[in-house]
Chains A and B, each alone.
Chain A
Amino acid sequence: MSLQSPLNKVLGLGSAKEGSAHWWAQRLTAVGLVPLGLWFGFSLLGLPHGNYDLVAAWMAEPAHAILLILLVFTLVYHSSLGMQVVIEDYIHVPGAKVLVLVAVQFLHVILAVGGVYAVVLVSVGAGR
């Protein structure tokens, strides 16, 4: 037996009004990270890490740059959703909880901007 009102059933909302969006975003980014993560992990195996020019040229390749930007976005989004839940579950001091949540969100935005901008810079030939 469901305790949801007919209206809430239609809207798909729980008592928190927003939990399902977080849940879905966590899953969809997870699905995206399976191919992106495997691609990147096994690309690292083939990279000549000691040769800067070859590494930069690999990163600048359009297909690689696009996949790297997708990886950064998806990874950072997935990470911020996951870290948010961990903080909510384990930090119980009210003020500290909000402070850490906000700080970690800011750090994730910085990571996303930094990663994407770095790939764009390498793509236009920075550093070479």
Chain B
Amino acid sequence: MARGDRPLSPHVSVYRWQITNTLSILHRLTGVLLSLGAVVLVGWMISVASGYEAYARVNSTLQSPIGGLMLFGWTFCFFYHLGNGVRHLVWDAGHGFEMRQVRASGWAVVAFALLLTVGFWVSALASVEG
């Protein structure tokens, strides 16, 4: 039998999606998206160093509807990755491994990320109008 034709044991796709594996893959996904955000962050810094016109271009792009949507997405990625990262650090310290605790901390991280993302943008838009 050729190497590639060997039978595989049941792969990840046969398992039911649940809060644990969903949040795990979401941690990776938000991490990769935040890496892209780091490119924009450094681009923004370079635009400040480049002077008024470069900054105005970058700033107006970021404040366009698409730019705003991306910033909103990065805000959620940031708060989610931060909250779930702290959850990982607690696990690394050896705590919270009971399934009940794992599910509860998972939902807590989701609530934390949603609340802070919404709170952040309510406050941001209020300061623009105020």
Binding site for B on A (CB under 8 A): 27, 30-31, 33-34, 37-38, 41, 44-46, 49-50, 52, 55-56, 59, 68, 72, 75-76, 79, 82-83, 86, 107, 111, 114-115, 117-119, 121-122, 126-128
Contacts and interface: CB of A to CB of B under 8 A. Distances in A.
B102 to A, nearest CB: 19
B124 interface: yes
Query: What is the interface of chain B mostly: helix, strand, loop, or mixed?
Result: helix
A127 B92 contact: no
Interface of B: 28, 31-32, 34-35, 38-39, 41-42, 45-46, 48-52, 54-56, 59, 63, 75, 78, 82, 85-86, 88-89, 92, 120, 123-124, 127
A56 B82 contact: no
Contacts of B82: 33-34, 37-38
A26 to B, nearest CB: 10
